């Protein structure tokens, strides 16, 4: 809310765009990962996949901006933990079981040993997006501690904390690329207990940057820089090997330096631009509804996508951009519809 009591829809718009980007990454990524890796269809799919690579960091920043400044986090952490556990744990249990049994065993007919099941759970890889629930759970756990250090201590401390945490994380994740250039393999494995750690910097940055608004030339410069970073990341992915130094230093991942700068830019520029948008009441109601449905979309969209992929040959082969694009539209629309309908049913609301 703004000081006038009116809702600021910037975070809602960012959340909606981000969830659309998450679905794009998972759907168009099917074509990007398939042969042949050339042609207009592949490039179009790659642009829609890699062009949205900033969405997960932005999601984490949105959570940080909303949570770390709340009174409940800093003044009543026990109540915060109870409320968040009641919201997240049922979803974590239900959806891991749904993807493990419903998708992997029933739909894909995978034969899973006990050891394989335990591995999938521990690695947070029961299915494509399930790691994010463990990531958020870890950030919720650390939120009161982080808030006690940052909240009410001034913008300088908030910015400094976020900057330090991000810098250390990015350095840690750029180092394996540098070592790999010299033939030394040092990957950083993550699991359900550690997924949250590299994202604490983004979490803190969301709080530190929540009130930053740019206007005039600074906004134009930040917009241009963010667009340039995004364009370079897309170009870099499609032309790996052309710039060996960039390949070594700028990993195209959620924890890459270029992606981090892009995410920070999207967050600040997006919220700044939204300040100039006057949202009519009915449009605002729709934005809030779509924003509230985004978590459910995140949870359910891969079930819908898998059902289409396994039953539509043109999608399964991953060679047709038009088939993939159609699948994206159907998956996104169906996911929003299911999430919204589920929010009207008390029992389903617990897991959406």
Phi then psi for 111, rounded to 5 degrees? -100, 110
> What does the alpha-carbon distance between residue 95 and residue 133 come to, in Å, rounded to a whole number?
10
Contact 105, 112 (CB under 8 A): yes
CA distance 317 to 315: 5
CA separation for the pair 194, 145 (Å, rounded): 17
Find out whether 2 and 8 touch, Cβ atoms under 8 Å: yes
- Token pair 């899973």 is found at 112
Q: What whole-number distance in Å separates Cα of residue 230 and Cα of residue 236?
A: 10
Q: pTM to 2 decimals?
A: 0.94
- pLDDT tens track, the chain, 352 positions: 544 446 779 999 999 999 999 999 999 999 999 888 888 999 999 999 999 999 999 999 999 999 998 888 988 899 999 999 998 999 999 999 999 999 999 999 999 999 999 999 999 999 999 999 999 999 999 999 999 998 888 899 999 999 999 999 999 999 998 998 888 998 999 999 999 999 999 999 999 999 999 999 999 999 999 999 999 999 999 998 899 888 889 999 999 999 999 999 999 999 999 999 888 889 999 999 999 999 999 999 999 999 999 999 999 999 899 999 999 999 999 999 999 999 999 888 888 8
- The pair of structure tokens assigned to 267 is 């967050």
Residue 257 contacts residue 314 (beta carbons within 8 Å): no
- Residue 230 CB neighbours (<10 A): 22
């Amino acid at each position: 809310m703004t000081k006038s009591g009116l809702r600021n829809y910037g975070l809602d718009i960012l959340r909606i765009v981000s969830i659309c980007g998450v679905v794009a990454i998972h759907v168009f990524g099917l074509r990007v990962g398939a042969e042949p890796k050339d042609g207009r269809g592949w490039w179009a799919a790659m642009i829609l996949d890699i062009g949205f690579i900033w969405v997960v960091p932005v999601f984490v920043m949105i959570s940080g901006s909303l949570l770390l400044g709340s009174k409940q986090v800093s003044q009543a952490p026990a109540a915060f933990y109870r409320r968040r556990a009641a919201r997240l744990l049922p979803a974590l249990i239900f959806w891991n079981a749904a993807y493990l049994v419903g998708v992997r065993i029933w739909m894909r007919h995978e034969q899973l040993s006990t050891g394989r099941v335990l591995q999938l759970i521990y690695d947070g890889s029961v299915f494509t997006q399930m790691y994010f629930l463990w990531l958020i759970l870890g950030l919720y756990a650390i939120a009161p501690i982080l808030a006690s250090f940052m909240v009410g201590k001034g913008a300088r401390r908030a910015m400094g904390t976020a900057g330090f945490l991000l810098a250390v994380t990015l350095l840690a994740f750029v180092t394996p690329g540098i070592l790999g250039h010299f033939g030394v393999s040092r990957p950083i494995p993550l699991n359900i207990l550690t997924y949250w750690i590299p994202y604490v910097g983004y979490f803190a940055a969301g709080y530190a940057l929540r009130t930053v608004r740019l206007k005039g030339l600074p906004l134009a410069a930040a917009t241009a820089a963010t667009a340039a970073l995004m364009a370079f990341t897309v170009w870099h992915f499609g032309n790996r090997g052309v710039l060996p130094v960039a390949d070594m230093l700028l990993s195209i991942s959620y924890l890459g330096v270029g992606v981090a700068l892009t995410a920070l830019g999207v967050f600040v520029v997006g919220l700044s631009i939204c300040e100039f948008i006057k949202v009519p009441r009915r449009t605002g109601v729709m934005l809030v509804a779509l924003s509230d449905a985004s978590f459910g979309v995140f949870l359910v969209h891969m079930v819908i996508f898998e059902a289409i992929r396994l039953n539509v040959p043109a999608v399964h082969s991953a060679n047709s951009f038009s088939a993939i694009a159609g699948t994206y539209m159907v998956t996104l629309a169906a996911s929003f519809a299911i999430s919204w309908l589920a929010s009207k049913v008390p029992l389903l609301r617990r897991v959406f």
